[in-house]
Amino acid sequence: MRQVADGVWQINTIPVPNAVNAYVADDVLIDAGTRHSPGLIKRSLQGHRINAHALTHAHPDHQGASHEICESLGIPFWVGDGDADAAENPELIGERQPDHWLARLYHRLFTGPGHPVDRRLVEGNDVAGFRVLETPGHSAGHVVYWRESDRVLVIGDVLLSMNPVTQIRGLSEPRRKLTPDPAQNRRSAKQKLGSLEPALVLFGHGPPLRDTRKFVEFVGRLPD
Ligand SMILES: [Zn+2]
């Protein structure tokens, strides 16, 4: 684990650095890579007390190891209200993705088992000192986590700072082939995140971004 902010650590859930991230905020694990990730995540968490597991969204590269982590650590599972049923029944993850071969391949290769959701997160909830903001579009129940005191934003896949396949860096919107409602995701980025001015953005895919201006300008330039 690599510390990225006060009480916040980044975990690589696959052996490629920054490609598929999870985070620890205080005692909460946020996201859990693919179904091939349990070993790497558990090794990373050694010596750190984890009391709950939360998702940014129930997609194959974020919920893959959720079941095994929750079972083996004996901790509750927290998911955005609109994604909770998909986190419990991963067939819905596949059904809700765009009808495209890449989405089907991701689903087949990476989706992990479902797991009962103990807490359905909604706007304004507190998770490890972060406020839950609902940001639908990349998935129906996508949420981000925002800590205003030091302006840290765990953004999930509303935006990416690296293409996880090519590893080319730079801010981008998530792939349309893996995004059920790209227009809604863009509205979430502009309307929900555009005014936050984060000092640190932690992405599902890509390295942390500490350039507030770059983030604000990118979001501001997104077409309506
Ligand atoms: Zn992702």
- The Å distance, Cα 170 to ligand 1 centre, comes to 16
CA atoms of 134 and 47, how far apart (whole Å): 32
pLDDT, tens only, 95-149: 999 888 988 998 999 999 999 999 999 999 999 999 999 999 999 999 999 999 9
- The Å distance, Cα 171 to ligand 1 centre, comes to 14
- The Å distance, Cα 7 to ligand 1 centre, comes to 23
pLDDT, tens only, 162-199: 988 888 999 999 999 899 999 999 999 999 998 999 99
Q: Looking at the predicted structure, is the pLDDT value of residue 160 above 90?
A: yes
Yes or no: say if 219 and 189 are a contact pair by the CB < 8 Å rule. Answer: yes
- The Å distance, Cα 205 to ligand 1 centre, comes to 6
Q: Give the residue carrying structure tokens 């920054």.
A: 18
Strands 28-30 and 152-156: unpaired
pLDDT at 89: 97
- The Å distance, Cα 157 to ligand 1 centre, comes to 6
- The Å distance, Cα 204 to ligand 1 centre, comes to 6
- Count CB-CB contacts under 10 A for residue 35: 20
- Amino acid letter, 137: G
In sequence order, what are the beta bridge partners of 162?
Answer: 169
CA atoms of 150 and 199, how far apart (whole Å): 7
Q: Looking at the predicted structure, is the pLDDT value of residue 224 above 90?
A: no
Neighbours of ion ligand 1 (CB under 5 A): 61, 157, 204
pLDDT, tens only, 16-68: 999 999 999 999 999 999 999 999 999 999 999 999 999 999 999 999 999 99
DSSP state of 29: E
